[in-house]
């Protein structure tokens, strides 16, 4: 039987629906996105050829665990699969637009900062090519 005398505070209902929305819609997209981001990063690190085998092994292990975790999560509810696919597609599209990832030293902080150079950034690509030519 349903007890109609129970009242649920609106904030509690809102928090419940936000959590439900995150776990049903946001989580599969995040896991799909992180999986492809990890595989792409692994591929780029391996292609550089400068990484030592323990680093490659650790990165490959972590990425495969994330991928398997994503699949285990998606098996629970078939409605999550399209959203997982959307996360994979979003990461693939984003990673195809990246030209390079550099780590220049910040002048004031004196520490490396990650900088992404996008394919449409002609000035950034030109600066990167000049810096690479100057190293040789």
DSSP code, position 117: E
| Rounded average pLDDT over 43-49 | 80
Task: Tell me what pLDDT residue 62 has.
Answer: 93
**E strand or H helix at 67:** helix 53-75
User: Average pLDDT of 23-28?
Assistant: 89
Return the residue matching tokens 């990167």.
Answer: 128
Please answer whether residues 103 and 112 qualify as being in contact, where contact means their C-beta atoms are separated by less than 8 angstroms: yes
Q: What pLDDT digit, counting tens, does each position of 53-90 carry?
A: 888 899 899 999 999 988 888 887 888 889 999 999 99
User: Average pLDDT, whole number, for the chain?
Assistant: 88
Write down the pTM of the prediction. 0.75
How many CB atoms within 10 Å of residue 67? 17
Strand residue runs (E) in the chain = 98-102, 115-118
Helix (H) or strand (E) run with residue 86 in it: helix 80-96
Which of 26-30, 51-55, 101-105, 112-116 has maximum average pLDDT? 26-30
Query: What are phi and psi for residue 70, nearest 5 degrees?
Result: -60, -45
């Amino acid at each position: 039987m349903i007890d109609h005398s129970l009242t649920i505070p609106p904030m509690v209902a809102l928090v419940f629906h936000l959590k439900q929305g995150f776990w049903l819609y946001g989580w599969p997209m995040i896991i799909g996105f992180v999986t492809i981001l990890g595989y792409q990063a692994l591929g780029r690190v391996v292609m550089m050829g400068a990484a030592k085998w323990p680093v490659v092994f650790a990165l490959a292990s972590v990425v495969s665990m994330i991928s398997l975790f994503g699949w285990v999560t998606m098996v629970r509810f078939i409605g999550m699969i399209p959203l997982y696919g959307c996360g994979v597609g979003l990461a693939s599209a984003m990673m195809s637009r990246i030209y390079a990832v550099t780590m220049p030293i910040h002048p004031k902080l004196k520490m490396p900062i990650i900088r992404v150079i996008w394919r449409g950034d002609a000035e950034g690509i030109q600066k990167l090519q000049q810096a690479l030519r100057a190293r040789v």
